[in-house]
A and B are shown apart, each in its own frame.
Chain A
Amino acid sequence: MGLQSCIGGTTLQTLKLASIPTLSSSRLVSRPVQLKALTLDFFLLSRHGRSRRSPFPLLARALSAPAIAFQTETPPEEKGNAVLKPQWKAAIDFKWIRENKEAVAVNIRNRNSNANLEAVIELYDKMSDLQKEVERLRGERNAVANKMKGKLEPSERQRLIEEGKNLKEGLVTLEEDLLKLTDELQQEAQCIPNMTHPDVPIGGEDCSVIRKKVGSPPQFSFQIKDHLQLGKELDLFDFDAAAEVLSLFNLSGSKFYYLKNEAVMLEMGLINWTLSEVMKKGFIPLTTPEIVRSSVVEKCGFQPRGANTQVYSIEGSDQCLIGTAEIPVGGIHMDSILAESLLPLKYAAFSHCFRTEAGAAGAATRGLYRVHQFSKVEMFVLCKPEESDLYHEELIKIEEDLFSSLGLHYKTLDMASGDLGAPAYRKFDVEAWMPGLERFGEISSASNCTDYQSRRLGIRYRPSEPSSASPKKGKANLAPPRFVHTLNATACAVPRMIVCLLENYQQEDGSVTIPEPLRPFMGGLEIIAPKSR
């Protein structure tokens, strides 16, 4: 077995956790496979006799394309000093909105959005008229300038100079107005939510439809505990100390925590296993900055400065903490035109995530279920528009396979129109059974954002189809760039997974069994047992 050839001889016994009773060496020596603690088993493939060539065959394809043309556009210099000036512009297709205003209006209603479609169309029309006027004036000014080049009578010249001056002043005013209109239009138009997939159920949260249901709730013949109690008895987390360190008076409601002992191994095991699994599917592993500019947060469709914002801001700067790796990954190809051969670009990003959870309170937020900081592996895909539905299906399949491997009982929901975030064209949520909470809890979310984010982040690709005519030199034959579609999906949100695993795999004696797939990533650990005192 390829696996064994790379494993050292260290037995689990040497993994002495401070308060865990020593495992007897004889029990382990008899086992054929002795795994070093916290082995990262990325290449289970090697077990099937695959030769040790490049571990990233799929990467080779992504990288063999011509280099990415980074077209970094510097933001236009903002004249004047407008407080509400947006710092960036979304490339919104106003013409399309106007031509499809009925559908857009219905969509806004279905999503309970506050967007003001009438205002957008009105502003757009005004702006178009103003633009025509500006162009007309510019044309006249150029005509005057041309006339001045020839031989002229002094009086004629003087008259033209006057005319030129008036035109110039008029233009300046109009151009200022145009800028203001453009900004207003942007502000209104950015509120318009993404369109909606035709199969999405219309309505509120309760209209979401179950696409798939896997497994069934485990039957316990004893009084079960919730993850908080299990964690306390197994010395796996500490919320109280965290509450002190953060001086929150409601100790049981504290949303910060320390993980300890096997819970740390569980977190590392979950992350490593998840990364390993999605890398096999061709995802490029990444770690990302967790501090980003607030404009990037906005371009992804979040509101860093809104009331009840989920976003932490850094004092004295325009930076924020990320709530999900979707944001820094979305930013990687900002303002770029990608070669078509690079698509699809599939990233699996590991990061810590920070959320204020402002406005979230109550029993459903006890323990690890809702916290301010957590580790997550996020999948992010950039693809051609015609392929996004396909990759949405692929992403949800990957998630379902991961959760099935861990033996979880879960259901996949097609979220209703009222429950989609503004960026999502369609969203699948997976809710897993959490026996201690006695209900299903969301463990992942997979969204197809079509071109909502890419129009804001400025991510396009150059289609490489040859034109029908014979190939000529020059740009004439290059197809115009199109906006990519982006998708994001949670591969593993660690605290929710820990809740699931602890509550579902608890035993009568208070221990917790580790699901098989995770064991090689936890040094072979099979069970989290109560510590002897």
Chain B
Amino acid sequence: MKGKLEPSERQRLIEEGKNLKEGLATLEEDLLKLTDELQQEAQGIPNMTHPDVPIGGEDCSVIRKKVGSPPQFGFQIKDHLQLGKELDLFDFDAAAEVSGSKFYYLKNEAVMLEMGLINWTLSEVMKKGFIPLTTPEIVRSSVVEKCGFQPRGANTQVYSIEGSDQCLIGTAEIPVGGIHMDSILAESLLPLKYAAFSHCFRTEAGAAGAATRGLYRVHQFSKVEMFVLCRPEESDLYHEELIKIEEDLFSSLGLHYKTLDMASGDLGAPAYRKFDVEAWMPGLERFGEISSASNCTDYQSRRLGIRYRPSEPSSASPKKGKANLAPPRFVHTLNATACAVPRMIVCLLENYQQEDGSVTIPEPLRPFMGGLEIIAPKSR
């Protein structure tokens, strides 16, 4: 229509243009709808699975490693709830009145134990090059979704804030995953290794029974979480590094534990491969999960929009301009629990209890607790 035209020809073209425009608007609407439908369905597809992952349900998980053995006690042992009561370490009853069940106050040496565990853990993983962080504990629900969680599903684990699109985090994995949302990182920055300390909030909807007594399953707890962003070809390597760090931490504390390669039926949607560590809890008379290390490959990064720019020079001699920049690629993300405080407290209290009702503090924690060696019953 830019050229010189006969009026009738111009009119015809205007008509044609209008029809095309209307047709386009309709098609573009359909395209949008289809894209949304496609997204909704496709987001339901779980991550691929590492070839070595055992196929099957929970009972198919394979033990990768077993460390230590159950302690032998020459006396009637107590569970952490009883120990906590007798040593005046926690208060569940007052918390039930103030907040509801599965809430608690930590008191006295238990506070020192929490601070000691966090400080020691942060100190240990910082030595391994992890950047320490504290994070927001209120985040936008879209970030929760991008990490692979379902904030609004039935039986959701996620607390929502009234009157907003914000939620409480269930793990620092979420706000840390969000740090580099919609970014292209320079390759030289990778791997980016964060150790994030936060409080975590979980509704534990649908979780009930004796296995949830005391500190084992609670609505609020402190946790140090390791989060790694790396190049795709390195994620298996960092998964091994993360599980090694966890195992070293738990071995230092003298825990008896086993590391499991979780079966395909037990992986969350984001995880390509997941190692869980279960520690022996004598009071519960069974192993209980104290940490989880997942390699999410590009599942989260594709949702969070985290990419990096590979810096390999092109084969031709360097030219100016974007022509030589390699296209950005999605990073791989991994997350691993360095320390989930309540479960650790269960382990330490139950494993290190003495006949006289006191609890010994493992060596590595003592400098982080002012040298405290033993939690003793208070004289009356």
Contacts and interface: CB of A to CB of B under 8 A. Distances in A.
A, B in one complex: yes
Interface of A: 2-3, 5-8, 14-19, 36-43, 46, 52, 54-56, 59-60, 63-64, 70, 72, 238, 241-242, 244-247, 256-261, 264-265, 267-268, 271-272, 275-276, 284-293, 296, 312-316, 319, 321, 328, 331-335, 350, 352, 354, 372-373, 375, 523
Contact of A332 (B91, B114, B127, B219): B91
Given A259-B134, A291-B220, A373-B137, A315 B160 contact: yes
A257 B126 contact: no
Identify the interface centre among A55, A335, A375: most chain B CB within 10 Å of its CB.
A55
A54 B376 contact: yes
B106 interface: yes
Contacts of B100: 291, 293, 319
Closest 5 CB pairs between A and B?
A: A42-B370, A6-B371, A331-B98, A245-B178, A37-B123
Contacts of A335: 97
A3 B94 CA distance: 36
Interface in B127-145: 127, 129-140, 142-143
A56 B133 contact: no
A352 B199 contact: yes
B379 interface: yes
Contact of A286 (B105, B175, B367): B105
Contacts of A256: 136, 138
A514 to B, nearest CB: 16
Interface in B104-152: 104-108, 111-112, 114-116, 118-120, 122-123, 126-127, 129-140, 142-143
B175 to A, nearest CB: 6
Contacts of B231: none
Contacts, number: 223
A5 B373 CA distance: 12
A171 to B, nearest CB: 34
Interface stretch (B8-16, B161-169, B272-280): B161-169
Nearest to B159: A314
A70 B93 CA distance: 10
A287 B103 CA distance: 11
Identify the interface centre among B88, B91, B371, B379: most chain A CB within 10 Å of its CB.
B371
B126 A64 contact: no
B99 A328 contact: yes
A516 B258 CA distance: 43
B130 A18 contact: yes
Nearest to B372: A55
23 contacts: A15-B127, A16-B127, A16-B129, A38-B368, A40-B116, A40-B367, A40-B369, A46-B371, A54-B378, A55-B372, A244-B181, A245-B181, A256-B138, A264-B122, A264-B197, A272-B119, A285-B111, A287-B106, A287-B114, A312-B161, A316-B160, A333-B94, A372-B138
A268 B122 contact: yes
B107 A285 contact: yes
Interface SS of B by simple majority: mixed
A112 to B, nearest CB: 28
Contact of A246 (B140, B160, B163): B140
A15 B97 contact: no
B201 interface: yes
Interface of B: 88, 91, 93-95, 97-100, 103-108, 111-112, 114-116, 118-120, 122-123, 126-127, 129-140, 142-143, 159-163, 166, 168, 175, 178-182, 193, 197, 199, 201, 219-220, 222, 366-373, 376, 378-380
A289 B371 contact: no
B163 A313 contact: yes
A227 B10 CA distance: 65
B121 to A, nearest CB: 10
Given A286-B105, A289-B98, A315-B160, A267 B138 contact: no
Nearest to A265: B132
A256 B139 CA distance: 9
A243 to B, nearest CB: 10
Contacts of B130: 18
Contacts of A42: 112, 369-370, 372
A291 B103 contact: yes
Contacts of B137: 352, 354, 373
A293 B133 contact: no
A319 B220 CA distance: 13
B98 A17 contact: no
Given A260-B133, A264-B133, A523 B123 contact: yes
B136 A245 contact: yes
A316 to B, nearest CB: 7
Contacts of A64: 379-380
Given A245-B178, A257-B136, A291 B162 contact: no
Contact of A242 (B120, B127, B136, B159): B136
A292 B99 contact: yes
Contact of B370 (A72, A276, A373): A276
B179 A38 contact: no
B108 A334 contact: no
Contact of B138 (A19, A63, A241, A373): A373
Given A247-B140, A354-B137, A373-B138, 19 more contacts: A15-B126, A18-B131, A39-B370, A42-B370, A43-B370, A43-B371, A60-B378, A238-B179, A241-B180, A264-B133, A272-B119, A291-B219, A291-B220, A312-B162, A313-B162, A314-B161, A333-B94, A334-B97, A372-B138
Given A46-B371, A286-B105, A315 B122 contact: no
A523 B119 CA distance: 10
Contact of B118 (A8, A43, A268, A321): A268
Nearest to B369: A40
A258 B111 contact: no
B178 A244 contact: yes
Contacts of A354: 137-138
A244 B131 CA distance: 20
